[in-house]
Structure 1
């Protein structure tokens, strides 16, 4: 069992981690909204932009979204003509989400500023510190997955 100092340090870390995430996330969300998208729409577009066509059934797991919400988000992005649904030729049960040409061009336009904003927001840490943070947070996340 942890001693009192250990417990207090854990609580402090939780608060600092939560506040840091909120600060970064609020800034990134504002930027995404300036593109006329919500964070979930952007996450779907970013996934397709970087990983290519994706089965609708797997998108939720890759961007941490409930499968029922994916249909709604894909509908909205289809209305904006940024993606289309494409039936799998070998399995009628599978439908892929695919960026349209308009969607590709749009992501090519907005992603560089998105990437630059995240780099700016995290610029307080140097390269080595970012590496340490990545390693420590990955270690923490993986250990929690065991519970």
Structure 2
């Protein structure tokens, strides 16, 4: 059986570029997760703690928006963090009907230990690029993000 689909050189280059971008993203994410997993956290748990550490108390919907997650498992992620004593729910003083998620002192201590190691990991990943290359890569990725 003969394949009748003809792929032109531009499409072939686009496919190659997409695969390279996907492989790179997976590789970087895997390297970045090494430090996070060493602390016993999942990537989602780390992201929740990081946003609470930097921004303070937030609604679950705000957390989802800030970390660009879907709401599907966020309640489970937060419940697990609460079981570990890393976050707690509290009532919003402005609107008693609203529950806020707050990082605990234990959660803050974990992040104070983990964040420097996480940042070192990110710096190690990107040391292969010059500053100019990082700026250009960021520019290109932002350009792709804006594609409809």
Structure-2-length-normalised TM-score: 0.89
- When the two chains are superposed, the root-mean-square deviation of aligned CA atoms in Å is 1.4
Give, in angstroms, the shift of residue 80 of structure 1: 1.1
Give the conservation status (yes or no) of the 8 Å contact 1:60–1:66. yes
**Is residue 2:93 matched to residue 1:93?**
no
**Is residue 2:77 matched to residue 1:73?**
yes
**Is residue 2:84 matched to residue 1:62?**
no
Q: In structure 2, how many angstroms separate the alpha carbons of the residues matched to 1:93 and 1:5?
A: 58
Q: In structure 2, how many angstroms separate the alpha carbons of the residues matched to 1:67 and 1:23?
A: 26
Give the conservation status (yes or no) of the 8 Å contact 2:36–2:114. no
Q: In structure 1, how many angstroms separate the alpha carbons of the residues matched to 2:14 and 2:51?
A: 33
Aligned to 1:32: 36
Larger radius of gyration: 2
Flag structure 1 segments of 5+ consecutive residues without an equivalent: none
Q: Which runs of 4+ in 1 moved over 3 A?
A: none
Flag structure 2 segments of 5+ consecutive residues without an equivalent: 1-6
**Is residue 2:51 matched to residue 1:41?**
no
Aligned residues: 142
